[in-house]
Structure 1
Amino acid sequence: MLTPLSISGLTLFQVIFAWQMCFAAILVWQNPKSRCLVLFFVFQALLCVANVLESAGYSLAGYVITPAFTVAMGPVWYLSVRTLVGASGSVLQSGRHLLLPLASLGLTDFVQPLIALGSVMLLCYLVASLKLLRDYRDTVYQVHADAPTVGLNWLTWLLGGYVVLSLTDFVRMNVQPITPMPWKAYWYFAHEVGFFGILSLLLVRVIKQPHFFNRLAQYQALSQPEEAAQDKQLAQSIFEAVDAQIREQALFCQPRLSIQHIADQLSLGVKQVSWAINSVSNNNFSNYINEIRLEQIEKQLADPAYAEVSILSIAMDNGFNAKSTFNQAFKARTGMTPTRYRTLCRAQSTV
């Protein structure tokens, strides 16, 4: 038989949760590109504080306000992600997403309807956030040679986990009037631990990845397919100029090479360069640059003059800035690890 989970235990956890969210807000403030997440972490801290106060019997003029937080959770997530990736939208457009949460502050007598509304809104906004992250992924591969470094796949997975947790929390909140104690307390505590874990991982990943590409609105059109057929000869001509520039000047050795840099050097438009690379090489910009890097690395691994140079040094000298990214790309291209490839090359040269 389950023993009741004490209110003091839940309250202590909420206090710890609130403290961690305040600490997270202070940490992310240090990086201007992730500063937009301060709003999100502060919001979570205020929610924890509201839970603590209401569980202790305190309320604002007799009203419970935590249901309004449920309505606001989805918009806060979405606006945080949208600002992080630099999606288009004015302050006025952003403010519209907060109108319903603000209006719900005057409707807190209708606790269960607000919880149901907030749960549905949260799922809808999380799906919209995942779509933004998909657009971000497609765009960053069109713009940056080091796309995996500034990628946000980890955030996509965290949001996916948050969606799953939110679905079960949706059930919990809407059946709590008929849920007996102590199941209600344990179920609530389990979800709080889950959310605490996801948000802790969010903080760790933001700190570990200080570089973000936050200009989605500026370059998003590059990831969209061209509607009108353009001159293939023109594409070939532009591509040859781009390819020559990159190879002759060894631009691929720059870890943070961007398509904007190439376009500026050739006095071309970014969209022209992107279209030419996509049309002729059948690759996005990131994969195209990595193919050139891997070609050079294969030659150097087979060259006796580089026999004493470490594989990691060769990879870094040719533009890769992460060992895991290099190993994954090399194996995808050759079907073997760099060490195995070098060993086979040495064996063939001695035959």
Structure 2
Amino acid sequence: MDNTTIISIISLIIVVLFLFFAVFLVSVKTTKKLSNKLLASFLVVTAVDISVFFYASLIELHPVLEMLRIQLSCFKDPLLFLYILSVIYSDFKLKPKHLLLLTPWVICLIILIPNFFSVSEANQTAFLQNYSQSFEARVIRQINRVVEILYIIAEIYYLIRYRKLLLENYTSKEAFYNYHWLKQLIIFILVGQALTFLKGYIRDSGAFEVEIVNIYRVILLVFGLFFSFWLVFKALLSPKLFRGIGIDLKLAKEMISEKEDTANNKQHTQIEKLKAYMATEAPYLDASLSVQSLSDQVGIPPRELSILINQELNQHFFDFINSFRIEKAKEILENPAKNKQTVLEILYEVGFNSKSSFNTAFKKHTGNTPTSYRKITQNQ
């Protein structure tokens, strides 16, 4: 079996999986319908793009339809970007301003007007036969590469900002599900784009034989096949995904720049009030504690509470709450009368909901694991 046949088979499998998963996304019952539709659209566009490796043996498209199919790949980056925003922000909505994301696609079509869209069908067919070597194709490829890089930068920026928002506002492990999902997704996309760039260089340089180019195509498609199975796996085993944060949620440093500095005496009073409440009421024992819920309990507005913890106490909300949980855990571990209490029982008692997060936080604060800390303190 030659590489051309292998490419056709793998690409057909990927297209079928992507279309199947797209149908699943738009038909499954969920509160995140927009996110699912955006991801489904991304998968459909990608499937249409990949179909180039086999569809020509099945059907023959009109030259205009074929060119539109080629340029349809311009939709992949904006669809992925909008999907990422819709996962991050629970109240994200599409707005007219998002149509501006289609500007590169419109520019590409305008570039093709003189020598393709405004000529006869016979000339269009001839143009398509040599399209990859044409001046228009080279310009469009450069535009698409610049656009892809800009989207990568934007996606990484929003992912980093998302993590900071989570650390400043949440402590539960469930709150970070979306972040880990998007982080993994972006890594996959980056690897895929790097392989695509490499394949494009090998194809366009003219320094490599067709078989070498096909080998790299096989590598890229095998990666795409692995990505397809990973998507299905995540969809089936991660039902808690897609619970975003409010679109108006801001970082503490962003909020403090929007308002006048709070008087020092008020901040001091609020800090003392917060610390006293933490010591007496122990709200940190609630594994799902968030800035909003703590704000309701302590009587400090969420924005002021976030600024207080992140700017004045110089801690993320995540670390601030965990520091109290660790202190409580240390008390239990140091007490010989509670030796029969297991580490698992202790972590749930002090507000953690997973052993891995408890061990990580405990070692970060004490330099020891909970088990070794118990042995060290009780043998002194």
Report the TM-score range of the alignment, normalised by the length of the smaller protein.
0.7 to 0.9
- Distance apart, 1:105 and its partner CA: 5.7
Query: For 1:237 and 1:267, how far apart are their aligned partners in 2?
Result: 12
The worse-fitting range, judged by mean Cα deviation, of 80-89 and 12-21 is: 80-89
The answer to whether the aligner puts 1:139 opposite 2:192 as a matched pair is no
Query: For 1:34 and 1:147, how far apart are their aligned partners in 2?
Result: 24
Match of 1:305 in 2: 337
The answer to whether the aligner puts 1:85 opposite 2:95 as a matched pair is no
Match of 2:19 in 1: 22
1:154-173 Cα offsets, whole Å, 9 max, x none, are 53354245334423422422
- Distance apart, 1:320 and its partner CA: 0.8
After TM superposition, the score normalised by the length of structure 2 is 0.79
The answer to whether the aligner puts 1:76 opposite 2:75 as a matched pair is no
Letter in 2 for 1:306: K
RMSD: 3.0
The worse-fitting range, judged by mean Cα deviation, of 338-347 and 187-196 is: 187-196
Counterpart pick for 1:166 among 193, 218, 226: 193
Residue 336 of structure 1: SS of its match in structure 2?
coil
After TM superposition, the score normalised by the length of structure 1 is 0.85
- Distance apart, 1:59 and its partner CA: 4.7
Q: Indicate how the Cα distance of structure 1 residues 273 and 91 shifts in structure 2: closer, same or farther if over 3 A, else same.
A: same
Query: For 1:225 and 1:318, how far apart are their aligned partners in 2?
Result: 31
Say if 2:88 and 2:245, in contact at 8 Å, map to a contact too: yes
Query: For 2:327 and 2:189, how far apart are their aligned partners in 1?
Result: 41
Counterpart pick for 1:194 among 223, 230, 240: 223
Say if 1:142 and 1:284, in contact at 8 Å, map to a contact too: yes
Say if 2:34 and 2:86, in contact at 8 Å, map to a contact too: no
Query: For 2:54 and 2:138, how far apart are their aligned partners in 1?
Result: 17
- Distance apart, 1:71 and its partner CA: 1.8
Counterpart pick for 2:150 among 113, 124, 145: 124
Say if 1:123 and 1:163, in contact at 8 Å, map to a contact too: no
Q: Indicate how the Cα distance of structure 1 residues 192 and 172 shifts in structure 2: closer, same or farther if over 3 A, else same.
A: same
Letter in 1 for 2:18: M
Say if 2:38 and 2:83, in contact at 8 Å, map to a contact too: yes
Structure 1 residue runs without a partner (length 5+): none
User: Whose Rg is larger?
Assistant: 2
Task: After TM superposition, list the pairs within 5 Å mapping 1:130-279 onto structure 2.
Answer: 130-146=156-172, 149-150=175-176, 152-153=179-180, 155-156=182-183, 158-177=185-204, 178=206, 179-198=208-227, 200-202=229-231, 204-205=233-234, 207-208=237-238, 210-212=240-242, 214-224=244-254, 226-227=256-257, 229-279=261-311
Structure 2 residue runs without a partner (length 5+): 117-127, 129-135
Q: How many residues align?
A: 345
- Distance apart, 1:35 and its partner CA: 5.6
Match of 1:61 in 2: 62
Percent same amino acid among aligned pairs?
Answer: 20
Counterpart pick for 1:12 among 5, 9, 13: 9
Q: Indicate how the Cα distance of structure 1 residues 322 and 237 shifts in structure 2: closer, same or farther if over 3 A, else same.
A: same
The answer to whether the aligner puts 1:115 opposite 2:141 as a matched pair is yes
Query: For 1:147 and 1:290, how far apart are their aligned partners in 2?
Result: 12
The worse-fitting range, judged by mean Cα deviation, of 127-136 and 172-181 is: 172-181
Residue 357 of structure 2: SS of its match in structure 1?
helix
